Chain A
Amino acid sequence: MTTLVLTSTELLKTKRMSIGTISHGRKKVAEGRWVPVKRAISKKDTTGLTYALKDAVRNKESVIANLDHEKCFVFDKAGKVVFEKTGKENRIEFSNEEMDKLQGTEIFTHNHPGGGSFSPEDIQFTWLRQIKEIRAVCTDYEYSAKITKEWKAGVWNAFVDRMSLIYGQVKVGFWREIDEGSITADQARIEHWHKVWSKMADVTPAFEYTREKRK
C-alpha cells in the first residue's frame, strides 16, 4: 500500500473533494481538476525501487522515447542522473573513462529509434559494468533486463553461446513466417531481439527480461 504525503494546502483542498484516483504523482479531485501529490522519496514500491527513482526514469524516458537518435541516462539509487550522453542514429560510444563511471550504477536507460529490443552488446555492457537494470524505450514499448547475480566469464560465455543458437532459431522461424505471409519483414525486425531475450529468460537463471507497452 502506498503512503502519500500531502502539503497542508493540498490536504485542505482534497478534504472538500470526493475520493479520487492517484496516478503519476497527481490526485484527481474532480473532473478536469488535479492536485500534485508528494510522495516520501525514500518510499519503495514492490520492486524495491524508490518512487523518486522510478519517477526520474519515467520522466527522462518520456523525453527520449521518440528521438531519431540514441540518448542515454544513468541513475543512482536516489533517482539522480549521474551520467548522460547523446549518441548517433543507432549507437552510443563510450570511452574507457566513461565506462569506469558506469560501474555498478542502478539504472541505465536509453532509446532505440528503430523500436526493437536490446542488442547483445547492450546486455554485454550491463554484464561488464554490473549495472543493476538496463532499459530501452521507443514509441511503442519499454524494455527491461537484469542480471541478478554476479556472472563469471564462463557463465557469460555460455550465455553468449546459447544466445547465438536461439538467434539462429528465431531468424529461421521469422523468415518462414515472412515467406508464408503471416508477418512482414518490419514486424520481424521489431520482434527479433524481443523473442530472443524472452527465450533466453526462460532458460537462464538470474536473467530477467520484460517488455511492456508504453502508456
Chain B
Amino acid sequence: MTEERLKNLKSADISKGFTIDKYNDDQEYGKSPVQKAVVVFKAMELLKAKNIHGDK
C-alpha cells in the first residue's frame, strides 16, 4: 500500500468529492517475482518497525 494512499485514507477532506474502490491492489497477486519481493520486503520492514510479528 503506497504512502500516498495511506495519507489519503487518513484525510477527512471531501471538498473534492470521494471515490470508492478505485485501487486494484488485490490484483498484485499476479505480480512478477521481483515486484513481489519489493512488496514483501516493505511489509517485513513495516512489521519490524512496529515490532509486530507476521503469521507463523
A residues contacting B by CB (< 8 A) are 70, 87, 90-96, 98-99, 110, 112, 114, 116, 119-122, 124-125, 128, 153, 156-157, 160, 164-165, 167-169, 171-175, 178, 185-186, 188-190, 192-193
Question: Chain A at the B interface: mostly helix, strand, loop or mixed?
Answer: helix
Interface pair B21/A70, CB less than 8 Å apart: yes
The 8 Å CB contact of B19, one of A121, A160, A165, is A121
* Interface positions of B (Cβ within 8 A of A): 1, 5-6, 9-10, 12, 14-24, 26-30, 36, 39-40, 42-44, 46-47, 50, 52, 54-55
Q: Are B20 and A92 in contact (CB under 8 A)?
A: yes
A96 to B36, Cβ gap below 8 A?
A: no
Say whether B29 contacts A189, CB under 8 Å.
Answer: yes
Closest to A183 in B: B29
Is A96 in contact with B14, judged by CB distance below 8 angstroms?
A: yes
Determine the chain A residues whose CB is within 8 A of the CB of B28 once the complex forms: 171
Q: Is the Cβ of A173 less than 8 Å from the Cβ of B18?
A: no
Judge whether A121 and B9 touch: CB under 8 Å: yes
Alpha-carbon distance between A52 and B21 when the two chains are bound, in angstroms: 29
User: Would you give the shortest CB distance from A200 to chain B, in whole angstroms?
Assistant: 13
Q: Tell me, in angstroms, the Cα distance from A7 to B42 when the chains sit together.
A: 64
Known: A125-B18, A178-B29. A119 touches B44 (CB 8 A): no
Are A112 and B29 neighbours in the complex by a CB distance under 8 Å? Answer: no
Do the beta carbons of A172 and B40 come within 8 Å of each other?
A: yes
- B46 CB, min distance to chain A CBs, angstroms: 6
CA distance A30 to B43 in the complex (A): 59
CB < 8 Å: which of B20, B39, B52, B54 contacts A91? B20
How distant is A34 from chain B, measured CB to nearest CB, in Å?
38
Closest A residue to B14 using CB positions: A99
